[in-house]
Every structure is written in structure tokens, then in C-alpha cells.
A and B are shown apart, each in its own frame.
Chain A
């Protein structure tokens, strides 16, 4: 008995498109056994998740609050994926964006609301972009693997923010707690419908639309697509692939940086440790699932928002330990990756025989 793994020469479009959904269903099925073991009826638990996230205006507002940074970060990551560039550093770019926006909010002294928000937005996008651009330059000039660089720069970004909130940017009136002062109203995005939902959500949708137009309707977008599907052909056609790598990583980081701006200006209203609970990493899953489409990112980010907000109900209604929520998310990721493997490879069992 032997297991043979071979690359598929072609995979059916149908299978590729449905694989993510099948894997989520399998994950739900397996998690169902965990729920049963914990003495909880899986059907009731899943109904609660959906109800918690979408069963009321409040649930919707909170789900969209969660969706907002996921859309930005997902768009950023997926743009780079388009060109076969792996930006694993969205988490760090969110932190850098949040840091830049906070710096403007706290120290610029701008008094005009629109001007302040524009300055914060620009600073966040620029700094997030430059941060990711470092990996772009290294990749374009010296062929340094961008996965490693963007991944490692996450830690630098997070620790830099920690340094600021534990040190120079600490609120002088905050009893030495590691928080900056709260932003003034000038530096806050407006709330929608008297909930925690803020105009950052609308900005995220606009951003998705612009990115879609950029990819589908501009020469730059066309080049990104060509380079992504066949870099040799692109070079042969005279496209400047090195410049494109730097530009794409800059844009990717800039969009993730805007997520940081949206979080501090719309929701947190200050800079502190843990400004993003892993949105940048969830964004990688989102970009993967969305198959690199901007519309897909919005949809998948929303579904992730449902899962994150609805996941609260497992604790709230059933008093399941928090470890269960993590196990649940881990299972989904596990089956997604497995599905991806089976889409690309064929696994056969054969009977003995010399190999």
C-alpha cells in the first residue's frame, strides 16, 4: 500500500470555487463533535452565532465594526497576492498606520476637523506604505524573500508602538498606565446610527470599489495581473516588474495602514498596546478565500466579522471556555489549507509494487 501525491495538471473551476465553502462546512461539522462533547447542541450553537451577529440592529452594527478593519487589511493583502507577492505583514502595517495617525492626532495641533482627519489618513497610508515598501525594495533589488521580511517587520512594528505607549507617548495624566491620551473630538470619525459603527466602514467600501477599478480599468492594474500570472511574459512585453513590486507592496501597506487609521480615529480614540487583535493575520485568510477579488474580500471580511462577533455567543450563552472559540477558528483555517492542498494535488492509494 502506497500513497502517491502528484500535482494536478488542471483543477476544475467548480472545485476551486466551492472548496472554501466545503472546507468551512467540514470545519463546522468537526467542531460540532467538540460542541457535543461539551454537552452543547451544535445546531443551537450555530443558530446562536448567526443570531448574535445578525439577529438585531445592534448585532449588525457590531459585525460591521469588526468587518471594517478586515476589509482594509484584506484588500491590502489581496492586492499583493494578485502579483504573487506575499504580504504577511499587514498586522504590522496596521500598527504603523495607527501610530502615524495617532501621532498626528496627538501632536499636530490642527483644529479643523476635516483637515485633521485628512492629515491622519495621509500619514497612516504613507507610513504603512513606506513600511511595506521596505520589503518591496529589498525584493526588487536583491531578490530578498518578502514573506520573511514582512513577517519579521510585524514584530518591529508592534514593539515600536509598545515602546511609544509605554514611554514617550504615555498620557501624562494616565497614572503611568501604557496608554496615550484620548483624541479630541477633532480627530474622531463620526459614529453612525448612534452605535459604535463609524464612517470608516463607508471608507472601506469606497476603498474596495477604487481598488476594483484600479485593477480592472487601469494600465497599472492590467500590468499587475499580467506580472502575477506570468512574470516572464510580462518582462518580455517590456513591463518594469521591479518597479511594479515596489509599487504594489507600497499600496498594499498603505491600505493596511488605513485600517490602523480607521481603528484609532473611529473606534479606539487613542493608541495602546494590542490595537489590532490579529486583523492583519485574519486578512491573509480573507485574501486567500476571496480568490484575490476586491468584492470577494468585502464578502469574506463580513463573514469573518459574523464569526468573530457571533463567537461571543458561545461564551455568552453556553459558557464555553474561550479556548473553544480559538479551536473553532483554528479548525476553519486547518480545513481551508487542506482544501487548497487537494485542489492542487491529487492523492492516490496504490497497492504495493516497487516504486
Chain B
């Protein structure tokens, strides 16, 4: 009996060591937490992030993750982020620009937790940031729009006049003009990421001035529904939104966050994660073009496939000069390609865009 007890005691003492050894051999278990700016819903920005989260969970060393929806941007979010950390989450994704300062302030208090902030520009030793080169598939979508329009008026519903949205509009317009130099892209601002009623009004106003192809930079599928009802074509965004406009839908530039979330989880697991600013494109698979509708003629589909290959191989860049702004001033010299810094701070419209950037 005594022997048994001593053996048990010894085992008990050894147990932590065994567990520890096992952990280091297997790497760090990942318990991830996500902060979402909207409800997950059936489509859109938050939906696409959640798809990425679910895919990441399939990794063997990733424990069931948690998310919090509709977290207000700004200081309020710091509480929710801290809540996730205090629940033992060791990898936090904050999936909207407005969480930037809150993420950094929480990260200062919890040095052993890895934070990844989406769409911002600040970082720290334990805070990385990430985003995608959405301008690549935007350019491809522009090619399709330029080929499909009859009225040569294309409507673009934009959220906020920030570089990210402006860059998308410009890349799209570059695509349009590469195949149809007489087409123009009309922009209407909504000053909201998600507000179906306002987005719908903006889409209708574009259809009223004769736009026959619409696209948008929003979270709600309201623009798609407007185009479907009024027999226009429409190009979605964020996630494949074709069920909202079965006949009007042409394609959509979409996010594939799983490519990145899986990679980050793997790095944290292996202990190789380092803070950096990730800006992946089509090559890494973070962004892509949703499958094209049958209504796009075969020759256009073929052209888009060729351009896709050229973008991925690096032979083609949507912003290769010469590029003039709306006022005819040259912004990019002939043959030049703007630096990432210039792209990230882009605050002018290229030729072919009808609309103004409020200052």
C-alpha cells in the first residue's frame, strides 16, 4: 500500500513536467478570439472573416475559438478585447480599422498574447497588422464592367473616402478603362459601412443617372438587390453574394481570410510568429475573383483569366504609369509602379472617375 502511494505521489509530482514536455513537443495550443464589427449574417465583411475563423479551427492544435459580433469601434472595444484575453485567448484578431488604438492599448497590458489588427497602420512587438491587395481583383472586375456596359456609365457605391476605398475605385476604373476608354465610373458616398437603406438609395440614384453596371464597397447586399430589380448588372464585394441577385450578378472581388488565419495560427503554434505588416494579394490567395456568371461572354472570361495569371505572376500591375488624376495631373510616371506607401495613402481619383473626394 505504501509503495502504491509513493508511486502515485511520484507520478503526481512528475505530471506537470510530463505535461510541459508534451506541450513543448507539440507546440503552443491556439485559443483564438475574434472581434467583429457587424453581425455575421449571410454575406459581407464579417461573414468572410467568420468563414476564415471556421477554416482555421480545423487545425488540430487550434481549440474552439470565440467571437464577439457588432463591437462598436473606438474605446468601447478595448473592454471586449480585454474580456477575450482574460478568458484565456492567446491569439486575438480585431477585424476592423476602428479597433486599432484599442488593440494597441490592450496589447500593452498583455505582452504574452499575440494581436492581429486588420486594415490599420500601427503595430507593436505583439501586435501585427494585416490586409489584402483587394485592388487586384477590383481591377479584374473593372475589365468585366467595361466590357459589359452599354451606356458607358458604371455606378460605384462607396463607404468612406479613405485610401482603401479610393484605391479600390481607382483600380476598378483602371480595369474599366483598359478595355473601354470612353466609359466612366460614377461614385456616390454613403459615409457608412453598413446601412442597407442608405446603400439602396445610393444605388438607385446611380441607376437613375443611367448606370447599367453597379458595384460597391459596402457590407450589405442592398446594391445587388437594387440592380436585380431594375435589370442592371452588378458586381458584388466581400463574399460571393450571388444569391442576392441571381440574374444581375456578374462576379465579386472577395476575401479568403482562411489563407491568412491558418498561416498566423501555424506561426504562433510553432513559435515563429513575428510582428509584421502583412499585405497579401491574389498570389497568396487572400483575395480573389468569385466565379464568373454565365452571362459574361466566353471571350471576356478568357481575357479575365489571362489577366489573372498576369497579375499573379507580377507581369501586370493595375497602377502601372502613366496615370493621371481627374484634373489631368500626372500622378504616376510612364512605366513606373507606385510604392506600397503611395498605394496605402492614395487620396486622388484617377481619370475616368466621376465624383469628388470630400476633404
Q: Which residues of A contact B (CB under 8 A)?
A: 52, 58, 62, 65, 162, 166-167, 175-178, 182, 196, 267-269, 272, 274-275, 277, 309, 312, 315-317, 319, 321-323
Q: In the complex, are the beta carbons of A312 and B160 less than 8 A apart?
A: no
Chain A residue at minimal CB-CB distance from B163: A175
Q: In the complex, are the beta carbons of B345 and A175 less than 8 A apart?
A: yes
Q: In the complex, are the beta carbons of B72 and A316 less than 8 A apart?
A: no
Chain B residue at minimal CB-CB distance from A275: B74
* Chain A residues closer than 8 Å to B79, beta-carbon distance: 62, 65, 196, 309, 312
* Chain A residues closer than 8 Å to B345, beta-carbon distance: 175
Q: In the complex, are the beta carbons of A268 and B74 less than 8 A apart?
A: yes
Pick the contact of A175 from B40, B75, B86, B121 — CB < 8 Å? B121
The answer to whether the Cβ of B68 comes within 8 Å of any Cβ in the partner chain is yes
Give CA–CA (A162, B76) in the complex, Å: 18
Given contacts A274-B74, A312-B68, contact A176 B162 (CB under 8 A): yes
Give CA–CA (A322, B97) in the complex, Å: 20
Number of B residues with CB within 8 Å of any CB on chain A: 33
For the complex of A and B, the 9 pairs showing the least CB-CB separation, nearest first, are A322-B70, A322-B69, A268-B75, A176-B162, A315-B68, A267-B75, A62-B79, A277-B72, A316-B83
* Chain A residues closer than 8 Å to B69, beta-carbon distance: 315, 321-322
Q: In the complex, are the beta carbons of B68 and A316 less than 8 A apart?
A: yes
Starting from the known contacts A175-B163, A272-B73, 18 additional A-B residue pairs (CB-CB under 8 Å) come to: A62-B79, A166-B191, A167-B359, A175-B162, A176-B347, A177-B97, A177-B162, A178-B160, A268-B75, A272-B74, A274-B73, A274-B74, A316-B66, A316-B87, A317-B87, A319-B66, A321-B39, A322-B39
Give CA–CA (A321, B72) in the complex, Å: 15
Give CA–CA (A272, B358) in the complex, Å: 17
Give CA–CA (A317, B83) in the complex, Å: 10
Interface residues of B in 79-121 (CB under 8 A from A): 79-80, 82-84, 86-87, 97, 101, 121
* Chain A residues closer than 8 Å to B76, beta-carbon distance: 277
16 A-B residue pairs with CB within 8 Å: A62-B79, A62-B82, A65-B79, A176-B160, A176-B162, A176-B163, A177-B160, A196-B75, A277-B72, A309-B79, A316-B68, A316-B83, A316-B84, A316-B87, A317-B87, A322-B70
Give CA–CA (A275, B72) in the complex, Å: 10
Q: In the complex, are the beta carbons of A312 and B67 less than 8 A apart?
A: no
CB of B102 to closest CB in A, whole Å: 10
The answer to whether the Cβ of B338 comes within 8 Å of any Cβ in the partner chain is no
The answer to whether the Cβ of B161 comes within 8 Å of any Cβ in the partner chain is yes
In the complex, per-residue mask of B41-74: 1 if CB is within 8 Å of any chain A CB, else 0: 0000000000000000000000000111110111
The answer to whether the Cβ of B78 comes within 8 Å of any Cβ in the partner chain is yes
In the complex, per-residue mask of B258-296: 1 if CB is within 8 Å of any chain A CB, else 0: 000000000000000000000000000000000000000
Q: In the complex, are the beta carbons of A274 and B72 less than 8 A apart?
A: yes
* Chain B residues closer than 8 Å to A269, beta-carbon distance: 75
Q: In the complex, are the beta carbons of A58 and B86 less than 8 A apart?
A: yes
* Chain A residues closer than 8 Å to B162, beta-carbon distance: 175-177
Give CA–CA (A269, B162) in the complex, Å: 22
* Chain B residues closer than 8 Å to A175, beta-carbon distance: 121, 162-163, 344-345
CB of A172 to closest CB in B, whole Å: 10
CB of B157 to closest CB in A, whole Å: 17
Chain B residue at minimal CB-CB distance from A267: B75
Q: In the complex, are the beta carbons of A167 and B358 less than 8 A apart?
A: yes
Chain B residue at minimal CB-CB distance from A325: B70
Which of A176, A182, A319 has the most C-beta atoms of chain B within 10 angstroms of its own C-beta? A176
CB of A182 to closest CB in B, whole Å: 8
Give CA–CA (A315, B79) in the complex, Å: 13
In the complex, per-residue mask of B111-136: 1 if CB is within 8 Å of any chain A CB, else 0: 00000000001000000000000000
Chain A residue at minimal CB-CB distance from B41: A321
In the complex, per-residue mask of B137-164: 1 if CB is within 8 Å of any chain A CB, else 0: 0000000000000000000000011110
Chain B residue at minimal CB-CB distance from A312: B83
In the complex, per-residue mask of B156-180: 1 if CB is within 8 Å of any chain A CB, else 0: 0000111100000000000000000
